[in-house]
Amino acid sequence: MVTISLCMIVKNEEVVLRRCLNSLADIVDEIIIADTGSTDNTKEIALEYTDKVYDCKWTGDFAKARNFVSSKATMEYIYTADADEYIDNENREKLKRLKSILIPEIEIVQMLYCTPPELGTVYNFDKEYRPKLYKRLRTFTWIDPIHETLRVDPVVFDSEIEIQHRPTGDHASRDLDAMANIFKTGNRLSTKMHHMYAMELFRSGTDNDFCKAAPTFMQTMEQDNRSIDEIKEALCVLARYHRITGDIVGFFGNALKDAITESCAEICCELGMYYESIGNYKEALIWYQNALTETDSILDIRTSKEFPEQGIERCKELWKKK
């Protein structure tokens, strides 16, 4: 049977921390918790389960904090958990069985992260595979019988274990501020972070968040080595930014650039909302219909489903009253 270190970073999680730890404490072999500045009873609760509770200065970098707490682990595998998640009884049994049969060749175990749609701030689905359990020390092995080489890709196992994610508050504003700060510090957003930033803006961003994000995505348009997907993401964000700030020339400029490639539902919805705002309901209906039936969403699935459906209903009613 393998051994597991549970590694967590926490801050002000007194409401949910016991729920998380109660679901895992008797399965893992050690618990290590890094506190990034709690002002409630989080640290006291953590100390009920382990004496390995560390203070970790918060720098705005989640990866740095994860690396810090993982560096304290001593078991064969590391299980990463957030305080607002837990495993129910059925999946606790699955994790116990996995622990007893896990073979050393498996380096990463993915589990299904389950977030109710109404609590999601980024993704367009309620279940997604995430790497949750991974080998603390990786052993490199030689592969191929001739022209042998070192295997560099990890061996990943997709388990059927489901993790329940029940956030108690909306972390979107925190995440969006953190991503805006990446640009301010002069760092370039990776392709993944670029996509995540644009998705979270469309899923959860306020008008102010779009204004803060505009410089980041304007820079995308000036960079030669951005992919077409990243360009389209930037066009969506900038079209929204120009629409809400009343820059109609900038708005249509970005919307037309998107039309050079296959149009997306986000831009069609933006056009629908613009024409609806100026009382041109006939034109708005055309663009909402395009969003609903002729295009696909690239950031927020609602722009090809309920948003244009609601827009069509509104415009039909408003058109009748003209």
pLDDT, tens digit, for every residue of 164-213? 988 775 555 677 777 777 767 777 888 988 998 999 899 889 999 999 99
Q: Where are the domains of the chain?
A: 4-165, 172-321
Q: How far apart are CA 272 and CA 257, in angstroms?
A: 17
Residue 298 has pLDDT above 80, yes or no: yes
3-state secondary structure of 54: strand
The pLDDT score that the predictor gives to residue 219 is 92
The pLDDT score that the predictor gives to residue 140 is 75
* CATH class of the domain defined by 172-321: mainly alpha
Q: How far apart are CA 97 and CA 322, in angstroms?
A: 65
Decide yes or no: CATH 3.90.550.10 for domain 4-165: yes
Q: Which residues contact 72 (CB under 8 A, 6 or more apart)?
A: 7, 32, 34, 52, 54
Q: How far apart are CA 235 and CA 225, in angstroms?
A: 16
Count of other CB atoms within 10 angstroms of residue 265: 28
pTM: 0.70
Phi and psi (nearest 5°) for 182? Answer: -60, -45
